[in-house]
Amino acid sequence: MTTTPKPTTVDAAAQASIGAAARELHLPTVRTEAVRLAEIADRERQTHLRYLAEVLAAEVDDRTERRRARRINDAKFPRLKRLADFNIDAVPGIAPAILGHLAGGHYMDAGEPVVLLGDSEAG
């Protein structure tokens, strides 16, 4: 039976230091995820650089998601519509390949406009 070792005083001090630094640097995900990711890194015998990469990636991913949610909220759309919820049977004139292209989002990177006309089916 394997048990998780109790945190040492050094670990507790390190956790407090990480929490304080993350708060000062406005890195909320680092503050909340550092210990959990450290346990995973230890269990998987990851290098320090790999651990740091994982912590920073978690912060970036969380910021990206919060930014996306904030932009959707700021847009004040009357209702949220997702391409994944699109009923292809309701508009037989649209080829599945076109939906695949739109789902890829490449048109945004290229600055290509997309115009969708018609009722949004308020359901």
34-70: pLDDT as tens digits: 999 999 999 999 999 999 999 999 999 999 999 999 9
Provide the pLDDT for residue 120: 60
Contact status, residue 51 vs residue 38, Cβ threshold 8 Å: yes
- What's the pLDDT band for 6 if we cut at 50, 70, 90? low
Helices then strands (H, E): number in the chain?
5, 0
Provide the pLDDT for residue 4: 53
Mind listing the pLDDT tens digit for each residue in 87-115?
778 777 888 888 888 888 888 888 888 88
Taking the model in full, what pTM does it have? Answer: 0.62
| Lowest-confidence region among 29-33, 41-45, 72-76 | 72-76
